[in-house]
Structure 1
Amino acid sequence: MRLTLLSLASLFVSCFIMMLGNGLINILLPVRMGFEQLGTDTIGMVLSLYFVGMLAGGLYARHLIRRAGHIRMFAGCLALAAVSILVCSLYTDAVLWGAMRILIGFCNACAFTAMESWLSESSTKDNRGKVLAFYQVVVLVAMFAGQFLINLASPQGTVLFVLSGILLSASIIPIVMSRNSGPQVEEVEAMSLLALLKVSPLGVVCCFISGLTYSAAFNMLPVFAGGYGIIDFELSLYMGAAIMGAFILQFPVGYLSDRFDRRSVLLVILIASALVGFSVTFLAGLDLFWPMSIATGITCGIIACIYPLSISESFDKLRQSEMVAAMGCLMLAFAMGGIIGPYSTSIVMDLFGNSSLFLFLGVVQLLLGVFVVYRMFARVALPVEKQEHFVMQGAASAAMIDLDPRIEYHEVEKPLSPEALIAAEIADSDPAAAVKLARAVAISTPEKGAEIAGAVATVEGIDVLRLYEVMLEAVPDQIQSITSAIVSAKPDLGYELVSKLAQSEPEQVIEVAAEIGRTIPELRLEMARVAVEAAPLSAVEVADYYAKVLAEERESIRPADREDEGYEQSSEELISQISNLVSQISNLVPEQAMDVAVKVVEAIPDMAATVASEYAENLSECRSEEMIQELIDTVDSINTPEEATQELNQEAVDFVERLSEAAPDQSLDIAGAVVEALPECADEMINALSEGEEPLENEMVVSLDDRPEGKTAL
Structure 2
Amino acid sequence: MRQTFISLFSLFLSCFILLLGIGLINVLLPVRMNLDGLSTESIGIVLSLYYVGLLIGALYSTSLIKRAGHIRMFAGCVSLGAVSILICSLYSEAMLWGAMRIVMGFCIACAFTAMESWLSDSSSKETRGQILAIYNAVVLAGLFGGQFFINVANPQDNMLFVIAGILMCIAIIPVVLSRHFGPVVEEFSSMSLRLLYKRSPLGVVSCFISGILYSAVFSLLPVFAKAFDITGFQLSLYMGAAIFGAFILQFPVGFLSDRFDRRTVLLVLLLISASAGIAVTILAPLGITWAVFLATAITCGIIACTYPLSITEALDKLRQSEIVAAMSSMILAFALGGVLGPYSASLVMDKFGGDALFYFLAFIQLLLACFVVFRMTVRQALPIEEQEQFVMQGSVISSAVELDPRTEYHESQYRPCAEVETTLMVAENDPALAVALSLAVAKVNAERGIEVAEALAILPNINVLNLFQAMSDILPEHIAELTLALVTVKPELGSEIAKLTPSTES
Q: TM-score range by the shorter chain?
A: 0.7 to 0.9
Q: Structure 1, residues 406-426: CA drift from partner, whole Å, max 9, x if none?
A: 001000122479999989987
Aligned equivalent of 1:231: 231
Partner amino acid, structure 1, of 2:233? F
Question: What displacement does 1:334 show?
Answer: 0.3
Aligned equivalent of 2:104: 104
| Partners of 1:423 and 1:437 within 8 A in 2 | no
In structure 1, distance between residues paired with 2:219 and 2:420: 53
Partner amino acid, structure 2, of 1:217? V
Aligned equivalent of 1:212: 212
Partner amino acid, structure 1, of 2:87? V
Seq. identity, %: 60
In structure 2, distance between residues paired with 1:449 and 1:385: 49
Aligned equivalent of 1:246: 246
Is residue 278 from structure 1 mapped to residue 319 from structure 2 by the alignment?
Answer: no
In structure 2, distance between residues paired with 1:274 and 1:203: 20
| Partners of 1:307 and 1:395 within 8 A in 2 | no
1:200/1:156 Cα in 2 relative to 1: closer, same or farther (>3 Å)? same
1:420/1:83 Cα in 2 relative to 1: closer, same or farther (>3 Å)? closer
Aligned equivalent of 2:367: 367
Aligned equivalent of 2:409: 409
In structure 2, distance between residues paired with 1:164 and 1:421: 43
Q: Structure 1, residues 91-124: CA drift from partner, whole Å, max 9, x if none?
A: 1111000000000000000000010111011111
Partner amino acid, structure 2, of 1:331? I
1:426/1:68 Cα in 2 relative to 1: closer, same or farther (>3 Å)? closer
Residue 169 of structure 2 aligns to a residue whose secondary structure is helix
1:241/1:74 Cα in 2 relative to 1: closer, same or farther (>3 Å)? same
Partner amino acid, structure 1, of 2:126? D
| Partners of 1:25 and 1:164 within 8 A in 2 | yes
Question: What displacement does 1:33 show?
Answer: 0.4
| Partners of 2:307 and 2:396 within 8 A in 1 | no
Q: Structure 1, residues 518-546: CA drift from partner, whole Å, max 9, x if none?
A: xxxxxxxxxxxxxxxxxxxxxxxxxxxxx
Residue 401 of structure 2 aligns to a residue whose secondary structure is coil
Q: How does 1:534-553 map to 2 (within 5 A)?
A: none
Aligned equivalent of 2:499: none
Q: How does 1:76-475 map to 2 (within 5 A)?
A: 76-415=76-415, 448=489
Please give the root-mean-square deviation of Cα atoms over the aligned residues, in Å: 2.5
Question: What displacement does 1:448 show?
Answer: 3.3
Aligned equivalent of 1:555: none
| Partners of 1:423 and 1:438 within 8 A in 2 | no
Q: How does 1:634-713 map to 2 (within 5 A)?
A: none
In structure 1, distance between residues paired with 2:197 and 2:490: 51
In structure 2, distance between residues paired with 1:152 and 1:427: 62
1:438/1:381 Cα in 2 relative to 1: closer, same or farther (>3 Å)? farther
1:238/1:202 Cα in 2 relative to 1: closer, same or farther (>3 Å)? same
| Partners of 1:70 and 1:182 within 8 A in 2 | yes
Which has the higher Rg, Structure 1 or Structure 2? 1
Question: What displacement does 1:366 show?
Answer: 1.0
Question: What displacement does 1:397 show?
Answer: 2.5
In structure 2, distance between residues paired with 1:440 and 1:28: 57
Question: What displacement does 1:189 show?
Answer: 1.8
Q: Structure 1, residues 500-557: CA drift from partner, whole Å, max 9, x if none?
A: xxxxxxxxxxxxxxxxxxxxxxxxxxxxxxxxxxxxxxxxxxxxxxxxxxxxxxxxxx
Partner amino acid, structure 2, of 1:218? F
| Partners of 2:18 and 2:168 within 8 A in 1 | yes
Question: What displacement does 1:182 show?
Answer: 1.1
Residue 109 of structure 2 aligns to a residue whose secondary structure is helix
In structure 1, distance between residues paired with 2:86 and 2:423: 50
Aligned equivalent of 1:4: 4
In structure 2, distance between residues paired with 1:395 and 1:360: 23
Q: Structure 1, residues 182-217: CA drift from partner, whole Å, max 9, x if none?
A: 111112221111011111100000100110000000
Moved over 6 A (4+): 416-430, 434-441
In structure 2, distance between residues paired with 1:419 and 1:221: 52
Residue 254 of structure 1 aligns to a residue whose secondary structure is helix
Partner amino acid, structure 2, of 1:60? Y
Aligned equivalent of 2:436: none
Per the normalisation by structure 2, the TM-score is 0.84
| Partners of 2:22 and 2:146 within 8 A in 1 | yes
Partner amino acid, structure 1, of 2:66? R
Partner amino acid, structure 2, of 1:170? I
In structure 2, distance between residues paired with 1:360 and 1:299: 13
In structure 2, distance between residues paired with 1:222 and 1:416: 49
| Partners of 1:438 and 1:449 within 8 A in 2 | no
- Unmatched segments (≥5 aa) in structure 1: 451-470, 475-714
| Partners of 1:243 and 1:297 within 8 A in 2 | yes
| Partners of 2:267 and 2:372 within 8 A in 1 | yes
Partner amino acid, structure 2, of 1:3? Q
Partner amino acid, structure 1, of 2:190? A
Question: What displacement does 1:396 show?
Answer: 3.9
In structure 2, distance between residues paired with 1:328 and 1:409: 17
Aligned equivalent of 1:521: none
Q: How does 1:472-487 map to 2 (within 5 A)?
A: none
Residue 90 of structure 1 aligns to a residue whose secondary structure is coil
1:157/1:396 Cα in 2 relative to 1: closer, same or farther (>3 Å)? farther
Q: Structure 1, residues 2-51: CA drift from partner, whole Å, max 9, x if none?
A: 11111011111111111000000000000000101110111011000000
In structure 2, distance between residues paired with 1:395 and 1:446: 40
Is residue 28 from structure 1 mapped to residue 28 from structure 2 by the alignment?
Answer: yes
| Partners of 1:65 and 1:114 within 8 A in 2 | yes
| Partners of 2:241 and 2:297 within 8 A in 1 | yes
Per the normalisation by structure 1, the TM-score is 0.60
| Partners of 2:33 and 2:43 within 8 A in 1 | yes
Question: What displacement does 1:353 show?
Answer: 0.8
Question: What displacement does 1:399 show?
Answer: 1.1
In structure 1, distance between residues paired with 2:102 and 2:294: 32
Q: Structure 1, residues 230-259: CA drift from partner, whole Å, max 9, x if none?
A: 000000000000000000000000000111
Residue 402 of structure 1 aligns to a residue whose secondary structure is helix
Residue 185 of structure 1 aligns to a residue whose secondary structure is coil
Q: Relative contact order (C-alpha < 8 Å, sep 6+): which is higher?
A: 2
1:269/1:344 Cα in 2 relative to 1: closer, same or farther (>3 Å)? same
Residue 180 of structure 2 aligns to a residue whose secondary structure is coil
1:71/1:419 Cα in 2 relative to 1: closer, same or farther (>3 Å)? closer
| Partners of 1:253 and 1:305 within 8 A in 2 | yes
More deviation, 17-26/413-422: 413-422
In structure 1, distance between residues paired with 2:424 and 2:42: 65
| Partners of 2:212 and 2:342 within 8 A in 1 | yes
1:449/1:256 Cα in 2 relative to 1: closer, same or farther (>3 Å)? farther
Q: Structure 1, residues 52-98: CA drift from partner, whole Å, max 9, x if none?
A: 00000000001111122221111111111111011111111110000
1:203/1:420 Cα in 2 relative to 1: closer, same or farther (>3 Å)? same
1:445/1:157 Cα in 2 relative to 1: closer, same or farther (>3 Å)? closer
Question: What displacement does 1:437 show?
Answer: 6.4
| Partners of 2:278 and 2:362 within 8 A in 1 | yes
- Count of aligned positions: 447
Partner amino acid, structure 1, of 2:368? L
Residue 409 of structure 1 aligns to a residue whose secondary structure is coil
Question: What displacement does 1:277 show?
Answer: 1.0
Question: What displacement does 1:351 show?
Answer: 1.0
Question: What displacement does 1:321 show?
Answer: 1.2
